[in-house]
Amino acid sequence: MENGSLEDWLHPSVGMNKSETMRNLNFFQRLNVAIDVAHALEYLHHRCETPIIHCDLKPSNVLLDGEMVGHISDFGLAKIHSGDKLNYSTKDSTSLGLRGTIGYAPPEYGMGSELSTNGDVYSYGILLLEMLTGQRPTNERFKEGLSLNNFVKTALSDRVVEIIDPVLLQEDFQGGKAAYITLNENNLGNDIHLQCLNSIFEIGLTCSTESPSERMDMSNVINKLCSIRDKLLRPTRLHRGI
């Protein structure tokens, strides 16, 4: 799509030209993309004739169109959940052992558990944490018992400023644009911005918890993220008389 993948924006590669490496997603763009992806997963899990499990959700499989709307792509590992069975196509028989990408695949898959929509929720939780911290789950710093989940968990709720993507702390949008907020160390005190950031991190942590039964349903994720977005926009709307 026109704006490439979420991976391109979160982690610009060395091979990109200067204009591409300089681009980045502001906080509200990231939140909107997170909501877009949540809507897509909710559709796959609950609104198709039979539930579809994507099995490989990660930044490179989220594409951004010309309006910066996020779309889930690459259904090469996707499975159709029909009743109590997972339907595999004949051509897919050689990839039955593949259960996603390291860092994004849920831990139960590594122990031989059946694929489930809860597995996609785990991947979504990791994706959400990565979007706000700028840290891949496979970062070299996450070893010897430390993971992206633990990295975030230990920083809640009074040290969020230490784990948020530094790019977001440099945001400075002027001109009264209703679609943006400024994130910096000065306004990340005990205000609404800090509360909302903590809430989003908590959603990511709950989605990526080790126990599948404790993960959030994507419908609940959508409701919570949309509520957070409305809360952040509300003061600006009142200020502008909207």
User: Within 13 Å, how many C-alpha atoms sit on residue 135's CB side?
Assistant: 21
Name residue, tokens 């126990």.
211
Q: CA 190, CA 211: separation in Å to the nearest integer?
A: 31
Q: Is 217 noted as a catalytic residue in this protein?
A: no
Contact 139, 148 (CB under 8 A): yes
Q: CA 155, CA 133: separation in Å to the nearest integer?
A: 11
Q: What is the 3-state secondary structure (H, E, C) of 157-217?
A: CCCHHHCCCHHHHCCCCCCCCCCCCCCCCCCCCCCHHHHHHHHHHHHHHHHCCCCHHHCCC
Q: Residue 153: left if φ>0, alpha if ψ -120 to 50, beta else—which one?
A: alpha
Beta bridge partners of 86: 81
One-letter amino acid at 201 equals F
CA dihedral 206, 208, 214, 216 (to 10 degrees): 60
Catalytic residue among 8, 36, 56, 120: 56
Q: Measured in Å, how far apart are the chain's first and last C-alpha atoms?
A: 33
Active site residues: 56
